[in-house]
Amino acid sequence: MNVENQDVLLEVEQEGDDEGEEEEDGELVLDEVQQTVFPSYGTALNQQALHTPEWAEFNQNHESLFFNDGQRRIDFVLVYEDESKKENRKRSFNKKQKRKREVYESNLITRGLQLEATRSVLDEKIVFVKVHAPWEVLCTYAEIMHIHLPLQPSDLKTPNSPLSWMTRFFSVDENIIKPEKEFFTAPFENDRLSDFYIQDKSTFFSPATRSRIVYFILCRGEYAVRDNVKKFGINKLLDSGIYKAAFPLHDSRFNHQSQDPSCPNERYMLYKEWAHPRNIFKLQPLHFIRKYYGEKIGIYFAWLGFYTQMLLLAAVVGLGCFLYGYFTKDNCTWSQEVCDPNIGGNIIMCPQCDQECTYWSLSITCESSKKLCIFDSFGTLVFAVFMGVWVTLFLEFWKRRQAELEYEWDTVEFLEQEEQVRPEYEARCHHIVVNEITQKEEHVPYTTCGKCVRLTFCTSAVLFWILLIIASVIGIIVYRLSVFLVFSATLPKHINGTEAIQKYLTPQAATSISASVISFIIIMILNMIYEKIAIMITDFELPRTQTDYENSLTMKMFLFQFVNYYSSCFYIAFFKGKFVGYPGDPVYWLGKYRNEECDPGGCLLELTTQLTIVMGGKAIWNNIQEVLLPWFKNLIGRCCTAARSEMIVPRWEQDYHLQPIGKLGLFYEYLEMVIQFGFVTLFVASFPLAPLLALINNLLEIRVDAWKITTQFRRMIPQKAQDIGAWQPIMQGIAILAVVTNAMIIAFTSDMIPRLVYYWSFSVPPYGDQSSYTMKGYINNTLSVFAISDFRNESKPAFPWFKNQTTCRYRDFRYPPGHKHQYEHNIYYWHVIAAKLSFIIVMEHIIYFVKFVISYAIPDVSHKTKSKIKRQKYLTQVLLHENPLKAMKKNMGSIADKLLKGADGSFRPKYE
């Protein structure tokens, strides 16, 4: 660097010291684009002066996707606020910001990109820099990025599916969105350009591919140096406010077709045939989505669509099980006994809390027992077993579908080393270490000790927030105990037993519904707070690549959401009513609050209520938030510019006023669906309608997400993705856990096992007095007897209803008073425990065995896909390797023949 440039750098460094509160110390702006060799993306050439973009006025063509010359396509748009027109900023700081931007843009031009700057029509302070990548730049970086491009049209025939006649009615009209032509592809090589299928250079690289290449370059453009480490990347410039936005262009308006003949109108067609609500039952044009938005967006909608299709089968079976329970509820013997005035009406139940609660008649739970018959039936058991098999089929068939998409979308050979390091990671690489493999020095952001400190801090922060959730769950439990006491003391005093409202407004129902609503509100509040905390923790952790970043954030967010959403359900299913003791010796929570008891029919109905409120409320809230929030923000933006609405606004400025998609893309959509997947699988034994609700929600979710990214957001930067990432192993873990939870719900939460034990063992001699197997007498047999005189003073009701009663009943299997083992568990209890444990072991082993057989029987890659992959590899070998080798051999042979002929002529004897 010459003396003049050193003086400039020194001056800028001094400015940086003066503005220390706004800029990092020691950062120098690169005033000269030096020659730097980048092993992954080429060489920047020496230049003695900064290059600047071409300036052009808006040509009033608001539909144009090209520079003013009408020839160069706009592949990306950068937006900044003119530093000379900024207000409330120090002049020296603005000057430094401007210098960084100028150096960055000069570097982009040096790398071969072409820039054209145009001032905003609506705000003269805003400048749009349009970026175009010429053919040579596209070819160079396509080879560096290992982008797969067409070799020749595919000659493999696609067999027609036997269900193609049916899917035709749900498919997109092929006259509007034409099927994409299939090609054999290979990683692009500039030296073998003639071997690739190039009919038109302007269309060989799709707009999505062009934007992806340009973004690759933008992420590696340098603008400053600090401690001999170059600072680069558009993301860093966006974070520091030098640029306000960076995005690829939508090709048209979503609701109006462009009249420009060069415009493909793909956004308009996507809205009309995919995002519009009338297409709710249509199949998605996945290849067209991938073509416009890239593989990462395409694989999300492919997964969501496949999951929704598989939910159709689960929803039908679940609805059938629900209807079976609904139509057979009147034949439910134990519910009839509860509702019978001569049986349930004569059974007086013990108080469920101390002093304030009083005795109550079993018959007031008549309506809840009828509802329980719908869900706690034999159909529930069948459905739980079915869902254990269904989730395996879903995951295995998705692997096959994913393998097909990997081939069709050219991500089969998407290697980890193709993914570049995050600019945020490289910007902090101040420590030098020696690579064990290459034995070369490398820059890393932290030492081994520093990495351990970061890991410890991040782990501690995550555990703290999980403990905070558990504390909130404990708070809800305390609320349940306190409010149940109030309801139990209040409702019976003011409601006559003959009034219809008492059938529905029992203390248990009031407590359950109010606690579920409060739990849902707390869940959503903690969720919003933790989202920001998880991002801060992951940023501090500083993952190396974007995939590492997303996987790390995924695990943190899912672990939090798992505890947040499912903890209350786990409490109701497996803890509530399990450790309550008996009226003479109750168990207390925190030494003060008496533990909750379940209804005489168990806690299954309350678990169903909790699932309905949380799952339904979450779906409604998320859809409202996804639709209204971006729409409202865009509405405010349109209102602010309404006064200047008569002005013609170019395509890039229209897109600028849309909402930015955010760094995490569709991360939250994945998270939302995987949490729903947990509700559908983990607790489905208590709520067979869960798959149906999920199906309805997903049909709306697909169109809401499509509408959102097509109409309300700027065009997303196309990104490569081979699969759905860390979400796949998470769903596999949920599938394994679901078998255990559903088996335990049937065994410990529902009353199915006690009823079966009574039917087969205790309804007939030697334990029963019925002449044949029956459910008659079940209620009387399964409610234990307690002597009122055995109440402790602190537990005795203050206002007894039934003064002539000497005993009351409670839900447990214990010997009656007067027995030599009074209030100890009886033989029925031990039979039930043995049956429950046996059921869990048998059900788990059967389902796990079936899951293993299915996983083994269904290959992850279909035979058809394997054939296509082998055919493509063969053609790549022939076209790119063997044919050039044969040509070289042929050329070498002809040269050798000429040399031999020349040698023969030189040594031929001369005859005189």
With cut-offs at 50, 70 and 90, classify the pLDDT of residue 454.
confident
With cut-offs at 50, 70 and 90, classify the pLDDT of residue 536.
confident
Cis upstream peptide for 766 (omega within 30°): yes
SS3 content of the chain, % helix, strand, coil (to 5): 55, 10, 35
- What's the pLDDT at 880? 66
Q: Which has the minimum average pLDDT: 43-47, 255-259, 438-442, 507-511?
A: 43-47
Task: With beta carbons less than 8 A apart as the criterion, state whether 111 and 221 touch.
Answer: yes
Task: With beta carbons less than 8 A apart as the criterion, state whether 182 and 291 touch.
Answer: no
- What's the pLDDT at 809? 92
- Buried b vs exposed e over 273-309: b needs ≥16 C-beta within 10 Å? bbbbeebeebebbbbbbbbbbbbbbbbbbbbbbbbbe
- What's the pLDDT at 423? 63
Q: Which residue bears the tokens 């903690």? A: 526
Q: Give the pLDDT mean for 625-637.
A: 77
Q: Would the pLDDT of 92 be above 80?
A: no
Q: List pLDDT tens digits, range 128-173.
A: 999 999 999 999 999 888 888 888 887 777 666 566 666 677 778 7
- What's the pLDDT at 250? 92
Q: Would the pLDDT of 351 be above 90?
A: no
User: Distance between CA 442 and CA 438 in Å, rounded?
Assistant: 10
Percent of the chain beyond pLDDT 70?
A: 81
Q: List all residues 6 or more positions away from 139 whose beta carbon is below 8 Å from its beta carbon.
A: 188, 190, 193
Task: With beta carbons less than 8 A apart as the criterion, state whether 223 and 232 touch.
Answer: yes
- What's the pLDDT at 185? 83
pLDDT, greater one: 127 or 184: 127
- Taking the mean position of all CA atoms in its chain, how far away is CA 153? 35
With cut-offs at 50, 70 and 90, classify the pLDDT of residue 87.
low
Start-to-end CA span in the chain (Å)? 74
Give the SS3 label for residue 726.
coil
- What's the pLDDT at 488? 64
Q: List pLDDT tens digits, range 683-706.
A: 988 889 999 999 999 999 999 999
Query: What SS3 string covers 20-84?
Result: CCCCCCCEEECCCCCCEEECCCEEECCCCCCCCCEECCCCCCCCCCECCCCCCECCEEEEEECHH
Tokens for 820? 């030599």
With cut-offs at 50, 70 and 90, classify the pLDDT of residue 796.
confident
- What's the pLDDT at 596? 78
Q: Give the pLDDT mean for 456-481.
A: 81
Q: Would the pLDDT of 496 be above 60?
A: no
Q: Give the pLDDT mean for 836-863.
A: 90
With cut-offs at 50, 70 and 90, classify the pLDDT of residue 883.
low
- What's the pLDDT at 249? 92
Q: List pLDDT tens digits, range 407-420.
A: 888 887 655 445 66
Q: Alpha carbon of 833 to those of 561, 604, 754, 838: distances in Å?
A: 33, 18, 9, 9
Residue-averaged pLDDT of the chain: 81
Q: Would the pLDDT of 828 be above 90?
A: yes
Q: Look at residues 215, 228, 222 and name the one whose alpha carbon lies nearest to residue 44.
A: 222
User: Distance between CA 287 and CA 408 in Å, rounded?
Assistant: 9
- What's the pLDDT at 860? 85
- What's the pLDDT at 178? 79
User: Distance between CA 704 and CA 345 in Å, rounded?
Assistant: 51
- What's the pLDDT at 714? 92
Tokens for 261? 């003949």
Q: Would the pLDDT of 241 be above 70?
A: yes
User: Distance between CA 563 and CA 571 in Å, rounded?
Assistant: 11
- What's the pLDDT at 390? 94
- What's the pLDDT at 47? 41
- What's the pLDDT at 438? 62
Task: Answer left, alpha or beta for residue 777, where phi above 0 means left and psi between -120 and 50 means alpha.
Answer: left
Q: Would the pLDDT of 499 be above 80?
A: no
- What's the pLDDT at 736? 93
Q: Which has the minimum average pLDDT: 456-460, 512-516, 639-643?
A: 639-643
Most confident of 282-286, 316-320, 632-636, 751-755: 316-320
Q: Look at residues 338, 334, 335, 340 and name the one whose alpha carbon lies nearest to residue 371.
A: 335
Task: With beta carbons less than 8 A apart as the criterion, state whether 613 and 761 touch.
Answer: no
Q: Give the pLDDT mean for 603-611.
A: 84
- What's the pLDDT at 86? 72
Q: Give the pLDDT mean for 809-820.
A: 91
- What's the pLDDT at 2? 40
pLDDT, greater one: 40 or 601: 601
With cut-offs at 50, 70 and 90, classify the pLDDT of residue 505.
low
Per the document, the length of the chain is 912
Tokens for 626? 């996804």
- What's the pLDDT at 626? 77
- For 218-263, give the DSSP string: HTT-EEEEETTEEEE-HHHHHHTTS-SEEEPPPSS-SSS----TT-
Q: How many CA atoms lie within 13 A of 760 on its CB side?
A: 8
- What's the pLDDT at 692? 93
Q: Give the pLDDT mean for 723-745.
A: 91
- What's the pLDDT at 902? 63
User: Distance between CA 575 and CA 573 in Å, rounded?
Assistant: 6
pLDDT, greater one: 650 or 5: 650
- What's the pLDDT at 506? 64
Task: With beta carbons less than 8 A apart as the criterion, state whether 451 and 436 touch.
Answer: no
Q: List all residues 6 or more positions away from 316 whose beta carbon is below 8 Å from its beta carbon.
A: none
Q: Look at residues 519, 743, 502, 692 and name the one whose alpha carbon lies nearest to residue 609.
A: 519
pLDDT, greater one: 47 or 636: 636
User: Distance between CA 384 and CA 606 in Å, rounded?
Assistant: 18
- What's the pLDDT at 4? 38
Identify the sign of the CA torsion 260, 263, 269, 271: negative
Q: List pLDDT tens digits, range 365-390.
A: 888 888 888 888 888 889 999 999 99
| Helix (H) or strand (E) run with residue 349 in it | strand 348-349
Q: Would the pLDDT of 18 be above 90?
A: no
- What's the pLDDT at 498? 41
Q: Would the pLDDT of 13 be above 50?
A: no
- What's the pLDDT at 261? 77
Q: List pLDDT tens digits, range 559-581.
A: 888 888 888 888 888 888 888 88
∠886-889-892 over CA atoms, to 5°? 150
- What's the pLDDT at 8? 35
Q: List pLDDT tens digits, range 257-276.
A: 888 777 888 899 999 999 98
Query: What SS3 string covers 158-222?
Result: CCCCCCHHHHCCCCCCCCCCCCCCCEEEEECCHHHHHHCCCCCHHHHCCHHHHHHHHHHHHCCCE
Residue/partner pairs of 830-837 with CB below 8 Å, 24 or more apart: 831/757, 831/761, 831/762, 832/753, 832/754, 832/757, 835/753, 835/756, 835/757, 836/747, 836/748, 836/753, 837/747
Q: List all residues 6 or more positions away from 563 whose beta carbon is below 8 Å from its beta carbon.
A: 466, 469, 470
Q: Would the pLDDT of 89 be above 50?
A: yes
- For 816-883, give the DSSP string: PTTSTTTTSB-HHHHHHHHHHHHHHHHHHHHHHHHHHHHHHHS-SS-HHHHHHHHHHHHHHHIIIIIH
User: Distance between CA 201 and CA 719 in Å, rounded?
Assistant: 22
Task: With beta carbons less than 8 A apart as the criterion, state whether 559 and 675 touch.
Answer: no
Most confident of 47-61, 359-373, 427-441, 812-826: 812-826
Q: How many CA atoms lie within 13 A of 482 on its CB side?
A: 9
- What's the pLDDT at 795? 82
- Buried b vs exposed e over 414-443: b needs ≥16 C-beta within 10 Å? beeeeebbbbbbbbebeeeeeeeeeeeeee
pLDDT, greater one: 472 or 3: 472
Q: Give the pLDDT mean for 253-257.
A: 86
- What's the pLDDT at 165? 60
Q: Would the pLDDT of 195 be above 90?
A: no
Identify the sign of the CA torsion 146, 152, 157, 163: positive
Tokens for 579? 């450790």
Instruction: Please list the alpha-helical segments (H only) found in 714-773.
Output: 727-744, 752-757
This model's pTM is above 0.75: yes
Q: Would the pLDDT of 396 be above 90?
A: yes
Q: Look at residues 807, 808, 685 and name the one whose alpha carbon lies nearest to residue 740.
A: 685
